[in-house]
Amino acid sequence: MSKNKKYPIEKSEKKWKAELSPEEFKILREKGTEYPFTGQYNDHYEDGTYLCKGCGTPLYESESKFDSHCGWPSYDKSIEGALDMIPDHSAGRLRMEIVCANCGGHQGHVFNDGPTKTRLRYCVNSASINFIKKLN
């Protein structure tokens, strides 16, 4: 989350710790990452919507998900207005961090090396999202 921006959902770190598992807190609030190929949504391809685990904001539709072979769930676009992008120099190079626009929870990073027509790859931690199956 950006320390400079006020988000619609703001909670104390104590409250976030009480609501999230230790892994979810590490990722959503401390900008951590899960090990590749370990997240529950890496190989998940049901129809539905992926939501921010911190606040329930819809972030991605299943139609935008693809197998990038990188070990994390990958999408070629997000739901409009759902994410903020923050320049991130923490890995010794410039990356674009993606955070939920509603609560500031860290989701992962977006790269411009995607195989689809958007050329984008939103690389997301499974621990930062939930899935709601599409009802037929």
Q: Distance between CA atoms of 124 and 11, rounded to whole angstroms?
A: 22
- Residue 2 domain-assigned? no
Q: Which helix (H) or strand (E) holds 86?
A: strand 83-88
Q: Distance between CA atoms of 27 and 11, rounded to whole angstroms?
A: 16
- Residue 89 domain-assigned? yes
CB–CB of 66/115 below 8 Å? yes
pTM here is 0.92
- Residue 98 domain-assigned? yes
Measured CA to CA in angstroms, residue 126 lies from 37, 77, 108, 116, 117 at distances of 10, 16, 10, 21, 24
Is the predicted pLDDT of residue 1 greater than 50, yes or no?
no
Q: Distance between CA atoms of 110 and 125, rounded to whole angstroms?
A: 12
- Residue 34 domain-assigned? yes
Catalytic residues: 123
Mean pLDDT over the full length of the chain: 94
- Residue 99 domain-assigned? yes
105-133 pLDDT per residue, tens = 999 999 999 999 999 999 999 999 999 99
* Distance from the Cα of residue 42 to its chain's centroid: 12
DSSP, collapsed to helix, strand or coil, labels residue 72 as coil
CATH of the domain at 34: 2.170.150.20
Range of the domain at 34: 13-133
48-86 pLDDT per residue, tens = 999 999 999 999 999 999 999 999 999 999 999 999 999
Per-residue pLDDT, 3: 56
Is the predicted pLDDT of residue 93 greater than 90, yes or no?
no
Structure-block tokens of residue 81: 């207005």
- Residue 5 domain-assigned? no
- Residue 25 domain-assigned? yes
The domain total for the chain is 1
- Residue 6 domain-assigned? no
